[in-house]
Amino acid sequence: MTDDLSRLLVSTKSWTDIVLACRGRQFPCHRVVLAARSNVFASMFLHQDTTEEVHNQVRYFASVCGGGGGRGVAAIVPLHLKVDIDDTDPEVLEEFVRFLYRDCLSAFASGDSEADLVSDSGSGGGSSNSSSSSNAVWMLTGLLSLADKYNVPRLKELAEQHLTQRLCMRQLAVILTYAKLHNAEILSAEAVKFMGARKEEVLDTAGWKEMLEVQPRMAEEILKELSKEDGENQGPDSTTARRLWSTLGFQRWLTALRAIF
């Protein structure tokens, strides 16, 4: 069946009745497929007054029907519904649509096209592998977000699995942020475990410093999880933990000043 749906997707777009639009690009789809794969889409099509911007488009055509006279009969038929999805990138949306039809990730999205994965330390593999891994993480985090938004459990599970394989110091903060925002519990647990063995290194990453500034409460939650893992249930008392918490405290103070001035 997935082969049949794949052919339907890459064919001449016959029988499509909806367009997913993202930043100037359009992806013709079939409502029945989207509704079958996502109960969020199904509900959207039943109740079109959703937060998504949905447009009805209509076209006119003349069809010849019956009789030797060949008289044309004017008819009005629905062409497409249009759903604007602007909280992602077109490339991510394209991969999302492809998954809904094929039930698998492309080599690029899964990272299988990479010769090697970046090592856990984040220092190996050279600039080429680093760039390739960054692209894969960008795609997978985008897919994780869409899978959570439109309730596609299998895609969310696959995205978590592949992101877990790409945990490294360079990408840790980004992956952990998406895991927390989209309730990816398995990925979050693995990321916190990865971070627990490298607390000192974490402080020097740009990603962690950005998280402190943009998501201070999330950073605090992560530090509490690390404290529990270390058995520090009464609060952080190790040198590393104190440094982490003091950094968080300073960042909160800085954020408060910015809010005031």
pLDDT in tens, 69-86: 444 444 444 456 899 999
Confidence check: pLDDT of 186 > 50: yes
What pLDDT is attached to residue 184?
A: 97
Q: Quick one: 90 exposed, middle or buried, by C-beta within 10 A (0-12, 13-18, 19+)? A: middle
Give one DSSP letter per residue of 61-127, joined into a string.
EEEE-SSTT--EEEEEEEEEEEEE--SS-HHHHHHHHHHHHHSS--HHHHTTTSSSPPPTTS--SHH
What pLDDT is attached to residue 50?
A: 45
Q: Give the other-Cβ count within 10 Å of 203's Cβ.
A: 14
Over the chain, what is the mean pLDDT?
Answer: 76
Which of the four CATH numbers 1.10.12, 1.10.3470, 3.30.710, 2.40.50 does domain 8-84 have? 3.30.710
| Residue in 215, 207, 156, 212 with CA at minimum distance from that of residue 186 | 156
Give the C-alpha separation, 22 to 19, whole Å. 10
What residues have CB less than 8 Å from 234, skipping those under 6 apart?
Answer: none
Q: What is the mean pLDDT of residues 34-39?
A: 96
Give the C-alpha separation, 71 to 92, whole Å. 47
pLDDT in tens, 86-111: 999 999 999 999 999 999 998 877 76
- Domain assignments of the chain as residue spans, ordered by start: 8-84, 198-261
Q: Give the other-Cβ count within 10 Å of 29's Cβ.
A: 23
Write down the pTM of the prediction.
0.76
Greater model confidence, 207 or 77:
207
